[in-house]
Amino acid sequence: MQLSNKSSSLTPRQQTWLEEQQQFVRSGLSASEFCRQRLLNISTFYNRRERLAQLGVHNFDTPEQVHASFIDVGSIQSFAIPKVREAAQPAASIVPTGIELRIDLGAGMILTLTRH
């Protein structure tokens, strides 16, 4: 989490808002579903997020999350596990049928790229 020393200067209330934002990120839920489950007004949720941003706290990611700045999808071909077109074919005739890449964008959204 890249919060530097900004989080140490937060009030207890602001620290609670930050923890709420971190819980939201970890939940994988949409903002509306997260707020519905916690009986929280969605405007209040976004207002708190904006107040934290004004204080210089922008990154609500959890330490477990790793972000890649660049993924060379072309190089994935060498790591792909080939699929067998027919189970009865000998191993020498196994031909890769394509690649499917799934990227979790957070908030319940998954981007799927398929290459045939």
Tell me, letter by letter, the H, E, C secondary structure of the chain: CCCCCCHHHCCHHHHHHHHHHHHHHHHCCCHHHHHHHCCCCHHHHHHHHHHHHHCCCCCCCCCCCCCCCCCCHHHHHHHCCCCCCCCCCCHHHCCCCCEEEEEEEECCEEEEEEEC
Domain extent listing, the chain:
7-54, 73-115
pLDDT tens digits along 91-111: 555 555 667 777 778 777 888
- Would you state the pLDDT for residue 77? 54
CA torsion, ordered 51, 64, 39, 36, to nearest 10 deg: 110
- Would you state the pLDDT for residue 14? 92
- Would you state the pLDDT for residue 16? 93
Which of the residue ranges 24-28, 31-35, 55-59 would you say has the lowest mean pLDDT? Answer: 55-59
pTM, two decimal places: 0.48
* CB contact at 8 A, 100 and 112: yes
Which residue would you say has higher pLDDT here, 107 or 19? 19
